[in-house]
Amino acid sequence: MTTSWNRKDQHIHYAEMQYNQPKSNGLDGVRFVHQSFSEISVKDVSLHTNLDTLNLDVPFFINAMTGGSDKAAIINKNLAYVARETNLAMAVGSISIALNDPTQQESFKIVRKTNPNGMIFANLGAHHSVENAKRAVDLIEANALQLHLNTPQELVMPEGDRDFSSWLKNIESIVNRLNVPVIVKEVGFGMSKETIQQLIDVGVTIIDVAGKGGTNFIEIENQRRELKEYSYLYDWGQTTAESLLEARKFASQASIVSSGGIKTPLDMLKSFGLGAVATGLSGEFLHLILTKGTDETIHQIERFKEELTHLMVLVGAKSIATIKDQPLVLDSHLTNWCYQRHLPIN
């Protein structure tokens, strides 16, 4: 059986291999209606946003990626440096391996050492106990905990979990007993309105819908299988756009985060137009770190900030929260999705 730290390095390798594959997060089916008069200035725009009680100066962040190997430690150190220099929040990959193997803790601790004052999210699977949740938070002095939902990945993973009956109950216990905010996120298969309602019912107030269109963990785990027999599942799940449409009616009950194939400030703007208040990028930042290095990644993030500010002026929105008030048009696929799922189009 493949050791856990080798599996972590395989994840990095296969995620980067997927970067240039043609995929759609569904946001190409979302268009803003151009208005010739903006009536605001660049200096009027604020990129500040809130995830429940978490205050973010920038509405996009480095989403969960890696940890648990020597290679992952280097990547996490570089990402933490970038986050520090650009004032971005950052989530680490699943800390589960470090709870079982103390020799792997440094690959996560390096993030807090590199960015001592930054906004950092710990990450664990939804099956973990309250005690493990507390240990994960303490390990990196995290400001919040991400609990990831990854049933398809686990089922395709040769050594993955096979019992998911306790996940929702575990989430409720952690939400009620942890002293930092809890973010529940998918890992790239999207969320339905039914799932979002279940999470809200157990007290979750920050939800990352993490739609299809970015890194595909069914494909990654299938590549690790000898027969590669699950290739027919590569299109499983809801896209980021479909997931945001599922989440729109819950915007007053939870802070919605978009992720899954987000690559450009226009993707971000469209996500905010569909009701998200922040967006996470994983594959884009991993690719930049691996191929361009930290300095170019920093420059790209600063360009993203400037470009997003300009796009907000283009649609006449002074704040992230008001982007959703701007008129949008959905393509036929998304309107059909709304029709069949009984979701409002406007």
Q: Are strands 278-281 and 60-62 parallel, antiparallel or unpaired?
A: parallel
What's the CA gap between 294 and 305, in Å, rounded?
17
Per residue in 106-140, pLDDT (tens digit) is 999 999 999 999 999 999 999 999 999 999 999 99
Q: Is 282 annotated as a binding residue?
A: yes
Q: Is 263 annotated as a binding residue?
A: yes
Per-residue pLDDT, averaged over 20-26, amounts to: 83
pLDDT of residue 75: 93
Identify the DSSP state of 117: T
Q: Is the pLDDT at 18 greater than 90, yes or no?
A: no
* Helix, coil or strand: residue 323: helix
- Phi, psi angles (nearest 5°) of residue 252: -85, -10
Q: Which residues contact 63 (CB under 8 A, 6 or more apart)?
A: 91, 185, 208, 259, 280, 281, 282
Q: Is 76 annotated as a binding residue?
A: no
pTM (global) more than 0.85: yes
Q: Is 36 annotated as a binding residue?
A: no
Q: Is 243 annotated as a binding residue?
A: no
Q: Is 262 annotated as a binding residue?
A: yes
Q: Is 107 annotated as a binding residue?
A: no
Q: Is 66 annotated as a binding residue?
A: yes
Beta carbons of 93 and 146 less than 8 angstroms apart:
no
What's the CA gap between 260 and 254, in Å, rounded?
19
Q: Is 280 annotated as a binding residue?
A: no
What's the CA gap between 281 and 188, in Å, rounded?
12
Catalogue the E-assigned strands of 150-306: 182-186, 206-208, 255-259, 278-281
User: Encoding tokens for residue 328?
Assistant: 């949008």
What's the CA gap between 225 and 1, in Å, rounded?
11
Q: Is the pLDDT at 3 greater than 50, yes or no?
A: no
344: confidence class by pLDDT, cuts 50, 70, 90 = very high
Per residue in 264-308, pLDDT (tens digit) is 999 999 999 999 999 999 989 999 999 999 999 999 999 999 999
Query: 4-31+60-299 adopts what CATH topology?
Result: TIM Barrel (3.20.20)
Q: Is 154 annotated as a binding residue?
A: yes
Q: Is 65 annotated as a binding residue?
A: yes
Residue ranges of domains in the chain = 4-31+60-299
Beta carbons of 277 and 49 less than 8 angstroms apart:
yes
44: confidence class by pLDDT, cuts 50, 70, 90 = very high
Q: Is 123 annotated as a binding residue?
A: yes
Per residue in 241-272, pLDDT (tens digit) is 999 999 999 999 999 999 999 999 999 999 99
Q: Is 261 annotated as a binding residue?
A: yes
pLDDT of residue 346: 81
Q: At what angle do helices 240-247 and 265-273 cross, to 10 degrees?
A: 30
Q: Is 275 annotated as a binding residue?
A: no
- Cα dihedral across residues 240, 295, 309, 278: positive or negative: positive
Q: Is the pLDDT at 1 greater than 70, yes or no?
A: no
pLDDT of residue 2: 42
